[in-house]
Amino acid sequence: MPVLSSVLAAAALACVEPPPDPSNTYDAPHTYARLARDYPHIRIASDALPDGVRKVADQVYAQHGVHCLKLDAYVPAGERLPAVILVHGGGWKSGYRSEFAPMAVRLAQQGFAAITISYRLSGEARYPAALRDVQDAVRWVRAHADELHIDPQRIALAGGSAGGQLASLAGVTLGQGMGEGVQAIINIDGLSDFTSELALRYEDDPAKNPSSAGAWFGGRYAEKAALWREASPIQYVRAGIPPMLFIGSAQPRFSAGREEMMARMAQVGVASEKVLLPDTPHSFWLFDPWLQPTVDASVAFLRRQLR
């Protein structure tokens, strides 16, 4: 695969990626430490690069001031590959794109170009900055499809936790009729409706000052209700949005709005599917033995939708 253009290389020199933040602990090792007592059989999924898959690392897809936003592409052999853009979680305030490297590797082994992206976290920029970043990443991938050997008409968005909400929101708000939309969405344990009773119980918890969502929106629900509604993917259900796969844990909190959104999608003739993994914690996709069934469900769905 050729190195991406010298213009992009020059862009990478003009800005920097912020150094790791010690307070940013949403990653596999820290999450493993929290979960291992209750789930002693789990193991952190490997991100080792297998034969036949190339990593195109640290590509700058956007710049805000001196801050680079970068992505990594995991690309198997082939031409005009279907692509999946993966959006990490972390409560909109933390997390790293490397969180999805193990899933990206396994998707690449199944013939998909898989792209992991960084985006602006709430400590740097509040909503809708992260949404705009995800949408910009989709546009960048499509603009550089030839260099990445990607089919620009077969691109999906996927994400976990906050990344699932962002992938869903970006996917249903990108212009489907303007050649910039995606063809499928996978929401892994991400909220579909911030305004539902279930979501508000946790995301607007008065004991949290602020909650993760409150920090992202810049205020509690009573103060910023319009933003909480605007960021809810369920608000954008209409004919023509991409089909969606919901992959859920055994933790009801993260299903907020899912059933209602699926029902609305059915009413307007948009396909949706649901796969629930029993006895799983949130963040299950970071670990074996749960990553492989997550990948298997995703691949089956994507092969139907990105034909």
pLDDT means per 10 residues in the chain (307 residues)?
Answer: 48 74 90 97 98 97 95 97 98 97 98 98 97 98 97 98 98 78 97 98 94 97 98 97 98 97 98 98 98 98 96
In a domain, 1, yes or no: no
3-state secondary structure of 275: strand
pTM of the model: 0.95
Here the tokens at position 64 are 């805000």
Q: What is the CATH number of the domain that holds 172?
A: 3.40.50.1820
What pLDDT score was predicted for residue 2?
A: 44
Rounded to whole angstroms, the Cα distance separating 45 from 122 reads 27
- Strands 67-76, 113-117: parallel, antiparallel or unpaired by DSSP? antiparallel
In a domain, 51, yes or no: yes
Total number of domains constituting the chain = 1
In a domain, 116, yes or no: yes
What pLDDT score was predicted for residue 194?
A: 98
Calculate the dihedral angle through the C-alpha atoms of 93, 274, 285, 292, rounding to the nearest 10 degrees: -160
- What are the distances in angstroms from CA 187 to CA 14, 89, 287, 297? 34, 11, 17, 12
What pLDDT score was predicted for residue 197?
A: 97
Which domain covers residue 114, as residue numbers? 6-305
What pLDDT score was predicted for residue 180?
A: 82
Q: At residue 50, what is the residue type?
A: P
In a domain, 25, yes or no: yes
Taking every pair of Cα atoms in the chain, the longest distance, rounded to a whole number of angstroms, is 52
**Residue tagged 């590797």 (tokens):** 105
In a domain, 282, yes or no: yes
